[in-house]
Amino acid sequence: MSFDAPFARELYGGPAPRWLADDQARPAEHVHHGLDAQGRIVLELEGQRREQVLLHEAGHCTTIGWYGHGIDNVRLNRYAGGRLVADHLHAGQRGMDTEHVWDAEGRQLLRSVSRNWRDGEPTWSNQYAYGYDADGRLSRIDLQYLDVHGQPKPGHDRLMYLRLPKGDTLKTVEARVQALLLQALPAALGRIPRDVPLYALFLCFTHEDVPAAWPPFLVWGTESYRQRIVAAGEDVPHDLWAPDEIRGDGADHELWFDGPEHQALREACLLHSQLMGMRHSDASAMRVLKAVVPELEVLARQTGLLLTADFVTLMADNTGDIDPLKALKARLTPERWAQLASRGWV
């Protein structure tokens, strides 16, 4: 469904929108639009699930959205000189009020400042800050969280968009992400405790939202954790290979690439996420993970970590939606897999 938001494709990804004639559209997948005499969108239908009506008046537009059998949200956009200057969203018990700040000439949007609210909770504020190159083209978008005085909180910035450098493609960015990740791993492995042997080292991603954990992060399973799971005897093959279970064990079992030394990796991963988002495919990220996992095992053995005799490395979806054992079985030799299976661990 459409909504008037600055730089929406840069922030949220997806292919460039295009109009289709009715005989070329697929009603179950595409959004059907109704236009008024001025060519403005006044009605949108998305399959049988969602619809919204747009009411245009001088200086503002009200959008009312339905989902199922009731009103889902109401949005009011305000305009001045043809530019969006504010929008207000009310979605049940939560909402957001946003002011869009332009430069003196009204040519470049500088900030989008939002106050977020939810019934029964304190409000909080954030802003998108937009940067431009010498030619006036958008070059970056930073998400900044604001204090009670409306100033950015130090150390809380999050880079949300980078303009793709000239000559870069999905292939070149994928290769850069893989190289930078491999470059960062030795130092990361050096930070893993060496007091307890490890039986597994996971390179974790988030299947439902790959950009949320890209670059991927490390989770390690200790032999002491494995022995507790085996002794409990409940759902052993699941709990041994589920990163979310290991992370919930109460000990420090994870490491993220979030330090200042990882800035180049994070920026490359952001570009990578943008390119994958435009294709609606995370296949490129999966290629990186599959290539890095065997190298991770080699590095783990080279960096002096305490490892069990049956130690393995594997890629794993942190949410548990994808069974990691299928990929692990494909990577291990039949002998190594049989060893784990004989003990009831897979």
**pLDDT tens digits, residue range 263-307?**
999 999 999 998 898 788 999 999 999 999 999 999 999 998 999
Would you place residue 18 in the very low, low, confident or very high pLDDT band (cuts 50, 70, 90)? confident
At residue 1, does pLDDT exceed 70?
Answer: no
Q: Which two tokens stand for residue 52?
A: 């919204």
Percentage with pLDDT > 90 across the chain: 66
Query: Span 162-177, mean pLDDT?
Result: 92
Domain shared by 325 and 192, yes or no:
yes
What would the pLDDT profile of 81-96 be if each residue is shown by its tens digit? 989 999 999 999 999 9
Domain shared by 222 and 192, yes or no:
yes
Please give the single-letter amino acid code of residue 89. L
Exposed/middle/buried for 244, CB within 10 Å: 0-12, 13-18, 19+? middle
Domain shared by 288 and 222, yes or no:
yes
Name the residue with tokens 């039949």: 334
**Residue 160 confidence (pLDDT):** 86
Q: What share of the chain is helix, strand, coil (3-state, %, to 5)?
A: 30, 35, 35
Q: What is the pTM of this model?
A: 0.71
Domain shared by 246 and 297, yes or no:
yes
Nearest residue to 161 via CA among 136, 191, 130: 130
Count of structural domains within the chain: 3
Domain shared by 214 and 252, yes or no:
yes
Query: Span 326-336, mean pLDDT?
Result: 90
Domain shared by 259 and 296, yes or no:
yes
Segments forming the whole domain that contains residue 145: 96-163
Q: Which two tokens stand for residue 142?
A: 């930073």
Query: Span 32-59, mean pLDDT?
Result: 90
Domain shared by 184 and 231, yes or no:
yes
**Residue 154 confidence (pLDDT):** 86
**Residue 141 confidence (pLDDT):** 93
Nearest residue to 6 via CA among 148, 168, 192, 132: 132
What would the pLDDT profile of 122-147 be if each residue is shown by its tens digit? 999 999 999 999 999 999 999 999 99
Residue after which a domain boundary falls, among 58, 92, 126: 92
Domain shared by 215 and 325, yes or no:
yes
Domain shared by 206 and 297, yes or no:
yes
Would you place residue 23 in the very low, low, confident or very high pLDDT band (cuts 50, 70, 90)? confident
Residue after which a domain boundary falls, among 140, 163, 186: 163
Domain shared by 5 and 85, yes or no:
yes
Q: What is the average pLDDT score of the chain?
A: 91
Domain shared by 177 and 220, yes or no:
yes
Query: Span 142-162, mean pLDDT?
Result: 89
Residue after which a domain boundary falls, among 33, 63, 92: 92
Q: Indicate the DSSP class of residue 260.
A: G
**Residue 21 confidence (pLDDT):** 84
Q: How far apart are the first and last CA of the chain?
A: 44
| Cβ neighbours, 10 Å, residue 44 | 19
At residue 251, does pLDDT exceed 70?
Answer: no
Backbone torsions φ then ψ of 236, nearest 5 degrees: -60, -50
Exposed/middle/buried for 194, CB within 10 Å: 0-12, 13-18, 19+? exposed
Domain shared by 188 and 267, yes or no:
yes
Distances, alpha carbon 26 to alpha carbons 16, 20, 21, 44, 119, in Å: 17, 10, 10, 14, 39
Query: Span 165-186, mean pLDDT?
Result: 95
At residue 311, does pLDDT exceed 70?
Answer: yes
Q: Which two tokens stand for residue 24?
A: 């070329």
78 against 23, higher pLDDT = 78
Query: Span 235-249, mean pLDDT?
Result: 89
**Residue 3 confidence (pLDDT):** 66
308: left (phi over 0), alpha (psi -120 to 50) or beta: beta
Name the residue with tokens 């699941």: 238
